């Protein structure tokens, strides 16, 4: 026979008959100023909420503020020229398919502690 | 009491009672047809717009206050409500003829419906939104940066909620931006 206290499973060494500790929930950060970038070519982090934003074949909500047509009105940073290039470097008239799903590269932030320590420091010359 | 008087007051009382029953029943029917479960009793509504709405802030949010289909689509004041209900009997006709009875047909007809809904909302200065969201009671300090900017300028310029908040409860169809711009919505 195994004693419950001695058994450590994925659940931790928490006795089965006790209520387990509730994991801390992470909250998305509120809308804020643009977050400074750490290196050249970094996809900038999203400094605002994006919950519920539709990005599919029919409509891309991000572009309703970030497109070249709309950025002035919305006050958003316009997507850069790179987003119109296909993989062979040709310039397209619309956002390239490989840049259409914005959240593949751009992510919003939560109040989460980094899982591992990171000592990366940007080179002074390209800091902003 | 003479016979004539008896009949007269009898009719009056019966009329009165019938009136109550009719009136109550009428309002009861109105209430019954003013719920999420009624709206989603048709598969046209249940299969297309309902699941999308379930992923939005008006279905589930921090405070647990829910906005249901009639809150946005059916006016609250009695007279506007009756008018919308009479209009909505059109939906019964389309139900019978099967205008949107498959997902493909729904998608095809969606832009038409969206445009008509935007037109209705714009014409009443987004009344149904404002039933819950009062501009006067918004605390700009608590709102996000983008919201504050848009609200403090946009609303002053005479814009209304639906001008900026399209697709708040459902997915938007392809080509809606051009269509809305063309219709001045």
From CA B65, how far away is CA B76, in angstroms rounded? Answer: 18
What is the full DSSP assignment across B47-110? Answer: IIIHHHHTTSTTTS-TT-----HHHHHS-SSHHHHHHHHHHHHHHHHHHHHTTT-SHHHHHHHH
Size of interface A-B (CB pairs under 8 A): 36
Confidence of residue A40 (pLDDT cuts 50, 70, 90): confident
pLDDT tens digits for range B3-39: 556 555 556 566 555 555 555 556 666 666 778 999 9
Sign, CA torsion B68/B73/B78/B82: negative
Residues of chain B in contact with residue A67, where contact means CB-CB under 8 angstroms, are: none
Is it the case that residue A4 has pLDDT exceeding 60? no
The yes or no reply on domain B33-182 and CATH 1.20.120 is no
What does the pLDDT read at residue A128? 60
Confidence of residue A2 (pLDDT cuts 50, 70, 90): low
Cβ of A52 and B171 within 8 Å? no
Calculate the alpha carbon distances from A102 to A3, A49, A107, B51, B67 in Å. Answer: 51, 14, 8, 24, 29
A55 DSSP β-pair partners = A60
A91 DSSP β-pair partners = A85
Contacts of B50 (CB under 8 A, 6+ apart): B40
Confidence of residue A3 (pLDDT cuts 50, 70, 90): low
More confident residue, B100 or A44: A44
Is it the case that residue A89 has pLDDT exceeding 60? yes
Is it the case that residue A67 has pLDDT exceeding 90? yes
Cβ of A48 and B144 within 8 Å? yes
Residues of chain A in contact with residue B147, where contact means CB-CB under 8 angstroms, are: 31
| B147, B149, B172: residue with CB nearest A59 | B172
Range scoring the smallest mean pLDDT among A64-73, A117-126, B127-136: A117-126
Contacts of B149 (CB under 8 A, 6+ apart): A75
More confident residue, A14 or B51: B51
Residues on A contacting B at a C-beta cutoff of 8 Å:
30-33, 48-49, 51-52, 54, 56-59, 61, 64, 74-75
From CA B125, how far away is CA B135, in angstroms rounded? Answer: 12
Nearest of A46, A45, A48, A50 to residue A30 by alpha carbon: A48
Query: Under a CB-based contact definition with an 8 Å cutoff, are residues B142 and A46 in contact?
Result: no
- Total residue count of chain A as it appears in this document: 128
Paired tokens of A7: 């058994």
Q: Please tell me the distance in Å from A22's CA to the nearest CA on chain B.
A: 18
Paired tokens of B119: 């037109």
Task: List chain B residues with pLDDT less than 50.
Answer: 1
From CA A35, how far away is CA A41, in angstroms rounded? Answer: 14
Q: Where are the domains of chain B?
A: 33-182
């Amino acid at each position: 026979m195994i004693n419950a206290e001695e058994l450590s499973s994925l659940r931790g060494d928490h006795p089965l008959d006790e209520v387990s500790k509730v994991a801390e929930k992470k909250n998305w950060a509120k809308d804020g100023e643009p977050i400074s970038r750490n290196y050249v070519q970094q996809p900038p982090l999203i400094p605002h909420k994006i919950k519920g934003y539709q990005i599919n074949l029919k409509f891309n909500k991000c572009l309703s503020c970030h497109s070249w047509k709309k950025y002035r009105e919305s006050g958003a940073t316009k997507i850069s020229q790179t987003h119109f290039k296909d993989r062979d470097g040709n310039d397209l008239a619309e956002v390239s398919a490989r840049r259409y799903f914005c959240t593949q590269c751009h992510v919003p932030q939560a109040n989460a502690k980094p899982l591992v320590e990171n000592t990366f420091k940007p080179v002074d010359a390209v800091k902003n | 009491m003479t016979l004539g008087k008896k009949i007269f007051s009898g009719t009056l009382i019966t009329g009165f009672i019938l009136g109550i029953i009719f009136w109550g029943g009428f309002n009861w029917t109105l209430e019954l047809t003013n719920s999420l479960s009624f709206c989603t009793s048709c598969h046209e509504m249940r299969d297309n717009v309902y699941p999308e709405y379930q992923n939005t802030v008006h279905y589930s949010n921090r405070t647990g206050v829910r906005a249901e289909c009639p809150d946005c689509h059916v006016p609250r004041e009695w007279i506007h409500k009756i008018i919308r209900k009479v209009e909505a009997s059109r939906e019964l006709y389309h139900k019978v003829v099967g205008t949107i009875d498959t997902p493909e047909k729904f998608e095809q007809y969606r832009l038409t419906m969206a445009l008509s809904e935007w037109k209705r909302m714009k014409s009443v200065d987004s009344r149904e939104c404002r039933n819950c969201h009062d501009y006067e009671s918004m605390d700009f300090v608590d709102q996000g940066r983008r919201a504050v900017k848009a609200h403090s300028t946009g609303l002053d310029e005479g814009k209304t909620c639906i001008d900026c908040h399209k697709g708040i409860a459902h997915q938007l169809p392809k080509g809606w931006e051009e269509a809305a711009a063309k219709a001045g919505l």
